[in-house]
Amino acid sequence: MDLDKYIRVIEDFPKEGISFKDVTTLLKEGEAYRYAIKAIADKIRPLDVDVIVGPEARGFIFGAPVAYELGVGFVPVRKPGKLPGETVRYEYQLEYGTDILEIHKDAIKPGARVAMVDDLLATGGTIQSAVKLVESLGGAVVHIGFLIELGFLNGRDRLDGYDVSALIQY
């Protein structure tokens, strides 16, 4: 299936010069959404993972159904103050400042085989930070899967040494 035709491109959003890839147009098409979830899951299935981890918020939209498809659990990575239990956090650099991600301290068992799932790989900062959180808890990241990769932003460079896949390349 040509998933690219289900992605709406909005120029100059959220600011001038950005060519935004809107996944909501794929999400509303049941057959395309189902195909995307199954295709991501099929890349992960042979890796015998214990859990899927997805960063807020679109990582939830893709990661949770991939976990369901594989019959494994799902663990959210969130912005500070959103998780009710004891958390660990990772602060990372943005172009203009910093951001923080958190995960429940008991979310990943040491030695767990983990696949990360998100909607889009751009510069790689968010997913790299989520990977560091998982690894700080003793998890082994065996795959990182995306719906879309913006190859011209070289985000894959930050994930050197990891098994990375994307269904759509720009």
In tens, the pLDDT along 59-81 reads 999 999 999 999 999 999 999 99
Separation of alpha carbons 69 and 54, rounded Å: 15
Q: Is the alpha carbon torsion for 25, 29, 35, 38 positive or negative?
A: positive
Nearest residue to 116 via CA among 72, 75, 65: 75
- Does 149 participate in catalysis according to the annotation? no
**Residues 11, 16, 86, 95: which is the catalytic one?**
95
Percent of the chain with pLDDT over 90: 95
Residue 97 predicted with pLDDT over 90:
no
Please report where in the chains the tokens 């990375």 appear, as a residue: 164
- pLDDT number for residue 112: 98
Beta-carbon count within 10 A of 52 CB: 28
- Does 95 participate in catalysis according to the annotation? yes
Residue 89 predicted with pLDDT over 80:
yes
**Residues 45, 58, 89, 156: which is the catalytic one?**
58
CATH value of 47-169 in 3.40.630.30, 3.40.50.2020, 3.30.2320.80, 1.10.10.350:
3.40.50.2020
Distances (CA, A) of 119 to 7, 53, 76, 83, 136: 12, 12, 14, 21, 23
